[in-house]
Amino acid sequence: MAKDTSFAAKTAKAASDRDTTNCPKCGEAYANVKLISSVRSETKNSWKFLQNFVLVCSCNQKEIYI
């Protein structure tokens, strides 16, 4: 039990050391999610892909994960 607790504490500390931000609304730590969207290029008649990193929490995950 004690071992589990210290492991959890270490994990929590490691997580807080990273550059994480908590949502002011739900208090949840944002998950950094890579979104890839395809955009059609009219001139070249081809698709190009755009990569975006978005911060996801309970507030907006329904909009992100369609």
Stretch that binds Zn ion, among 8-16, 35-43, 44-52, 54-62 (CB under 5 A): 54-62
Rounded to a whole number of angstroms, the CA Rg of the chain reads: 18
Q: Is residue 57 a contact residue for Zn ion (CB under 5 A)?
A: yes
Task: Answer yes or no whether residue 56 interacts with Zn ion by CB under 5 A.
Answer: no
Q: Give CA separation, 17 vs 9, 12, 14, 21, 24, in Å.
A: 12, 9, 5, 11, 19
Binding Zn ion (rule: CB under 5 A), the pick from 6, 8, 10, 25 is 25
Binding residues for Zn ion, rule CB under 5 A, total 5
